[in-house]
Amino acid sequence: MPSDYRLRPRDDGAGIRFQCMKCGTCCSERSLIVTLTGHDIVRLSKGLGLTARQLLRALDFYLLSDDESPPEGLRRFPAVRTDRGMVYIALKKSNDGRCVFLDNDLCMIHPIRPGACAAFPFVFTRDGTNIRWGLSAMRDICPGIGEGNEVSEAELLQLAGPVLEELDEYHKFAEAWNRQWSGEGVIDLIAAMLQDSRFR
Q: What is the pLDDT along the chain (200 residues), one digit of tens a residue?
A: 444 455 565 554 457 899 999 999 999 999 899 999 999 999 999 999 999 999 999 999 999 777 777 777 788 899 999 999 999 999 999 999 999 999 999 999 999 999 999 999 999 988 877 888 888 888 999 999 999 999 998 899 999 999 999 999 999 999 999 999 999 999 999 999 999 999 98
Helix (H) or strand (E) holding 9: strand 6-9
Beta-strand runs (E) in the chain: 6-9, 17-18, 59-63, 80-82, 85-91, 102-103, 106-107, 122-127, 130-135, 145-150
pTM of the complete model? 0.90
